[in-house]
Amino acid sequence: MRADLAVSYGDERLPRYTSYPTAPHFSPAIGGDTYAGWLAELPAGAGASLYLHVPFCREMCWYCGCHTQIVRRDELIAAYQRTLRSEIVQVADTIGRRIKVEHIHFGGGTPTIMAPEAFVELMATMRQAFFVLPTAEIAVEIDPRTLTADMVEAMRLSGVNRASLGVQSFDPVVQRAINRVQSFEQTACVVDMLRRADIAGVNFDLIYGLPHQTVASCLDTVRRALALAPDRFSVFGYAHVPDFKKHQRMINEAVLPDGPARHDQACAIANALKEAGYVQIGLDHFARPDDSMAVAFEERTLRRNFQGYTTDKAEVLLGFGASAIGHLPQGYVQNEVQIGAYAQCISAGRLATAKGYGLTDDDRLRADIIERIMCEFGADLGDICARHGAEPEAMLKSASRLKPLISDGVVRLDGDKLAVARDSRFLVRSVAAAFDAHLDPGKQLHSRAV
């Protein structure tokens, strides 16, 4: 990885491109009536993936960028679970048939904050409302500090087969600076419980760019994490946006690593994981060579959605819960962010859609190009444009941000085929951004490019 490019491009604020256009461009012009119409129009053979957002935690991690809140009363969580079940039935009734589901993902917040019996009830509601395939991947995000044996059993009974554990860093200095003290022993105990329950897929989330973090502390975290042999790693750069996430103001900016230091940390983690035998997948994922995600990357069938890289091929993502985002062929929808407003809509029998975006033909073309760049570090513009009835020359002409990337050796063009140079792949978001017709560089809405 070229350090000179990290200096030149690293401070840019760019989307992670888990969607295109990205969420800041959603509009309240798209509401519940529009969503209902889109659901009713889904073709007969359409399958779907489900995302359920549980916006509660026991305490706030100061680095967090998620929609969540601290809750002490379990009655609030139970009420929210009931609202989720009502929304699932409501959406299924609007579709008008029991469509097949191959992926379910619980995110948050801390999804396992629910009572075990409530989790089982929620899964039962989904299986009644949708045809959840026997081979479906059912994944749950987990805070190892609060997971109980009873919840692990509930997950097993419900068919959960993948767990994503937040680790971030095992350095106690870093942990105290981000208000997330989590020992290696706690994490190891949870991994053992999951595997004993036959929840075989285990993912770890790591973060670089945190306060007081160094290359040495990053490598020590990787060393400890490797001892637990997860199937996948997600490695994210900390996005410091205190204007949008007020709790991030608790982090002392003076001890945050600068751009070159973040670049060094990202390189060190990536190199250590690759040396341990993991395959680097796209921008920020690593997987064992026999893992389904590594296979999808090799076969060029990898996709990208709001959970990051995925093997999910469904063209429909149904989002449930406060702030949850869905994706349909017609466009994107997002639920009310505030839990109270979300619950009021559902209790009144209305879809909770607060805003969204209707896709144009140009959006679909650019979304395909951006997804292939993010997933494959390149794109066959001729092939993609042909499928959309467009001309690659016109697309390249519109991508003015591409010129300096080509001059700096980040991007190579061979006819209509674009490729990101191997030593510049950490700038893949910068390359994707060249095709983003909605990007406003003046707005600091996103995380740093490195």
342 is in an annotated binding site: no
Contacts 24+ apart (CB under 8 A), 2-6: 2/423, 2/424, 3/260, 3/263, 3/264, 5/408, 5/410, 5/424, 5/427, 6/259, 6/260, 6/262, 6/263, 6/426, 6/450
109 is in an annotated binding site: yes
With helix as H, strand as E and coil as C, how does 365-386 read? HHHHHHHHHHHHCEEEHHHHHH
Tell whether residue 135 is among the known ligand binding residues: no
Consult the annotation and say whether 168 binds a ligand. Answer: yes
* Residue 112 assigned to a binding site: no
Q: Is 218 annotated as a binding residue?
A: no
DSSP 8-state code for residue 30: S
Assess whether the previous peptide bond of 230 is cis (omega < 30° from 0): no
Nearest to 205 by CA among 225, 227, 180, 183: 225
Dihedral (Cα; 234, 240, 246, 247), 10-degree rounding: 60
Task: Report the largest interatomic distance among the alpha carbons of the chain, rounded to a whole angstrom.
Answer: 61
Separation CA 416–CA 61 (nearest Å): 45
Residue 205 annotated as lining a ligand binding site: yes
138 is annotated as contributing to ligand binding: no
Q: Is 284 annotated as a binding residue?
A: no
Give 94's contacts (C-beta < 8 A, 6+ positions apart): 36, 39, 40, 351
Determine whether the annotation assigns residue 141 to a binding site.
yes
444 labelled binding-site residue:
no
Q: Is 65 annotated as a binding residue?
A: yes
Check the annotation: does 64 bind a ligand. Answer: yes
Residue type, 109: G
Annotated binding residues for [4Fe-4S] cluster, as ranges? 57, 61, 64
Annotated binding residues, as ranges? 51, 57, 61, 63-65, 108-110, 141, 168, 180, 205, 239, 325
Annotated binding residues for S-adenosyl-L-methionine, as ranges? 51, 63-65, 108-110, 141, 168, 180, 205, 239, 325
